Amino acid sequence: MSSKETCRNELRAAVRHLGDRCLYSAAKWYATQPLPYPSPSVNPISLPSPNPSLSLSLSLSLSLSSHRAAELLVSVDPDAPPSSAASSVASRATPSSSGAGASSRSLHLHRQQYHRDGSSFRRRFRSGGAAADVTSTPLGGVSYVSTPIPDDDGGFEGGGDSYLLAKSYFDCREYRRAAHVLRGQAGRKAIFLRCYALYMAGEKRKEEEMIELEGPMGKCNAVNSELVSLERELSTLRRSGAIDSFGLYLYGLILRDRGSESLAISVLVDSVNSYPWNWSAWSELLSLCTTSDILNNLNLKNHWMKDFFLASAYQELKMHDEALKRYEILMGVFRLSDYIQAQIATVQYSMRELDEAEVIFEELLRTDPYRVDSMDIYSNVLYAKESLSALSFLAHRVFLTDKYRPESCCIIANYYSLKGLHEKSVLYFRRALKLNRKYLSAWTLMGHEYVEMKNTPAAIDAYRRAVDINPRDYRAWYGLGQTYEMMGMPFYALYYFKKSSCLQPNDARLWIAMAQCYESAPLQMLEEAIKCYRRAANSNDREGIALHQLAKLHSILGHSEQAAFYYKKDLERMEAEDRKGPNMIEALLFLADHYKSVGRFDEAEVYCTRLLDYTGPEKETAKTILRGLKIAHSAVRDGWRSGSRTHNTLIELLKFSNQKHKAPAWCENEGEWNDPDTEFQRGLFWTFGNNLPGNFLEFKVL
């Protein structure tokens, strides 16, 4: 049997196992998440209630199970040739620690042109390149180790008719009735479903209490009342070996809710090692991997599901290059997987490669026109590119497809925000949060809208709610920094900017925000601002803010050479991008004056000549400098020819070179001159030091 056929058989069995344990609702894994990773506080189990909006909210915060496995099953390419060219990449048992940068919704970049000659994203991974050869998952290579598919303790051994009755109650959301039917059953399936039903009943009641006390979007400290008893029972069953991998998954979930994260990691690792096809368990484990060290120390068996997990973990930890490598490996087998394509597009969005991400999302919509999953990320891409017409079309499409999905509400909110209708935008963000109160992106983006409306208390509350859901959301920390900066509290702002830059160290905008905070009037810490701008310049600052500010700050501090260096680099950047404006004029003026001051008259003349193309006061300034340059050239030439005029020539040069303070001293020493030519040379070197202009030396031949 081929490796791909083995993969198909495993997925078919996973669909059956997960559906039989009532995990089929978890089809929304990852695609329904507003960020490229699930929130650590999102409950992976559907928690319906009599309230329809609550039921929808909870059913959307789910992980991969039977539907997810079925998607992977149909995405296996039957015709892909086996290859093990990149098996070494897939066989890494521990992840790398390198990372890459990311983006926020306020980004505006110039649009690049793509040749869309019918070549599709899938075709990019079918031919030629490295990605096409990376098919070692699960075809060959040590990344794939066959895990025996466990036999169900089904039939009468698993509870028989009682189990079927309990499952039907569970499907009808009558959780306590389901648990009651399975009391006394000893089969592992029955134990799992009974404990699962009790957990769901507790979660359902917790959600009801939260709504009763605080409303659909309020804060509440309600807890699941079943956690303590379930933890005690499952701990005993684990020690006696009476629970399977699904029971271990539920036990790990409860331990996480109880705050025992280290033990939860250990239990979840045991669960995925014994049954690697339960993405719900992988997702819970992912939410606990808050650092690369934790990820490196996981004792995971090699299996192709591990590649999905590592790709998602790299995404969450902002290790974007590693995430792309993993997804390209997986594309070698799951060539038809829309999920993997959506994740690659999401990674590219985080890396601010907006045009590439847009191409992939457009193809996803062409192949699946009624898709809503991941389209909220697509709307962020369109928002960042200010593509109002495309965003309008997308909002209209999802409204007709499913207007009561949180993603649909978020897309419509982005559309209104781009039009400047911030009140309407907030209305739709609030609607999304009523459908799913843990929709992280909606909290963050709603905070941005409140900032636009100058409603700082509401903005702070929205950002804090986002941070409570996921402390690793750098956008929320950045939003808090911006809000406190608006309120004139720079020390608070610096704290939050530092938090965001630690989470996303390769994002130039975060370093620029921190530098501007250091520059503000209450602080005036210019040296610290320079350090931040340097980090921004080294982090692919596409808008060129860092270079310009570095030049200005060095000029203010009197570091003329450093200022000239950065002005020149900024000028080169603007020329390469064909940009013109006040920044270019400022750079030309400074460089002309600087090179005039150090006696490099030829270079000063070049920059002055460029200033003549402008019509403002800078043109008159350039003319004045050019006249001075002409006089200086004439004075030096005449002075070299006639030693008797050396004195006046040097004084004129000193004045023109902004070194007037040396002129009086030169006059006092006039009587000590002997050889005019020698004294003239000495004077030039005394004036300009080692920066003696080359054109002065040319006068020796005259």
Contact assessment for residue 640 and residue 699, using Cβ atoms and an 8 Å cutoff: yes
First and final CA of the chain: distance in angstroms? Answer: 92
What pLDDT was estimated at residue 193?
93
What pLDDT was estimated at residue 159?
53
Q: 3-state class of 96 per DSSP? A: coil
What pLDDT was estimated at residue 639?
53
CA distance 479 to 341: 29
pLDDT digits (tens, 9 = 90+) for 491-509: 999 999 999 999 888 889 9
Q: What is the DSSP string of 240-254?
A: HT---HHHHHHHHHH
Q: How many CB atoms lie within 10 A of CB 273?
A: 18
CA distance 642 to 455: 74
Predicted confidence (pLDDT) at residue 310 exceeds the cutoff of 80:
yes
pLDDT digits (tens, 9 = 90+) for 446-468: 999 999 999 999 999 999 999 99
259 exposure class (CB count in 10 Å sphere: 0-12, 13-18, 19+): exposed
CA distance 279 to 276: 8
CA distance 202 to 221: 14
CA distance 573 to 587: 12
pLDDT digits (tens, 9 = 90+) for 521-546: 888 999 999 999 999 999 888 888 99
Closest C-alpha to 441, from 371, 485, 375, 370: 375
* Distance from chain centroid for Cα 604: 43
Predicted confidence (pLDDT) at residue 138 exceeds the cutoff of 90:
no
What would the CATH number be for the domain defined by 467-476+487-691? 1.25.40.10
Predicted confidence (pLDDT) at residue 481 exceeds the cutoff of 80:
yes
pLDDT digits (tens, 9 = 90+) for 18-76: 766 766 544 333 333 333 333 333 333 333 333 434 333 333 333 345 555 556 655 66
Contact assessment for residue 333 and residue 80, using Cβ atoms and an 8 Å cutoff: yes
What pLDDT was estimated at residue 621?
84
Q: 3-state class of 84 per DSSP? A: coil
Domain range summary for the chain, segments of one domain joined by +: 467-476+487-691
Bond before 138 cis per omega within 30 degrees: yes
Predicted confidence (pLDDT) at residue 97 exceeds the cutoff of 70:
no
What percent of the chain is predicted at pLDDT more than 90?
Answer: 47
CA distance 564 to 560: 6
Residues written for the chain? 702
Contact assessment for residue 345 and residue 357, using Cβ atoms and an 8 Å cutoff: yes
pLDDT digits (tens, 9 = 90+) for 565-616: 999 999 999 988 888 888 998 999 899 888 888 878 888 888 888 888 887 7
What pLDDT was estimated at residue 101?
37
